[in-house]
Amino acid sequence: ALKEQRLKGARTDMLLVEETPGAGLPPVAPPAGSAAAGSAPPAYLIVDVTVNDPEIFSQYAAGSPGSIASAGGHYVSRGGPFEVVEGTWQPGRLVLVEFPSWDVLRGWYYGDVYQALARLRQSCTRTDMVAVEGHAG
């Protein structure tokens, strides 16, 4: 019943995403003091990436996990299975990353280390990326 009400007033794309460890990498536990441990709300990076040049992308993929971990972030899902349950969004490779806070995510994304990696990724992919602050309560 709530879905019917929502569809009358909003356009929605909704997916189910399975939590997955990333491509042979062990899952990284949220750092102590992170949002998952009960402090400030977490922040999430939602990425839809279509790889156009796998060879160049492999260089990005080699540096990205360490960059994320160095900022206290961890993969929630990294290219795992998903199911479109509403709407028309058809992601290529869907990635979900959790960071301890909004400020940490933004500091990581706009920092020199990740911006160098971002330029590499941008040269070999089509990417849609959204950062969103988590809910505190």
Q: Which helix (H) or strand (E) is 5 found in, with range?
A: helix 2-9
Least confident of 12-21, 99-108, 110-119: 12-21
Strand arrangement of the beta sheet that strand 43-51 belongs to:
74-78, 93-99, 43-51, 125-133
Indicate if the pLDDT at residue 123 is higher than 80: yes
- When pLDDT is averaged across residues 2-7 and rounded to a whole number, the result is 58
> Hey, CA dihedral for 81, 87, 92, 94, is it positive or negative?
negative
Confidence (pTM): 0.74
Phi-psi region of 33 (alpha: psi -120 to 50; beta: other; left: phi over 0): left
Confidence grade of residue 57 (pLDDT, cut at 50, 70, 90): very high
Determine the Cα angle at 15 with ends 12 and 86, to 5°: 45
Residue 41 is given by DSSP the state P
> φ and ψ at 4, to 5 degrees?
-60, -40
Least confident of 2-16, 79-93, 118-132: 2-16
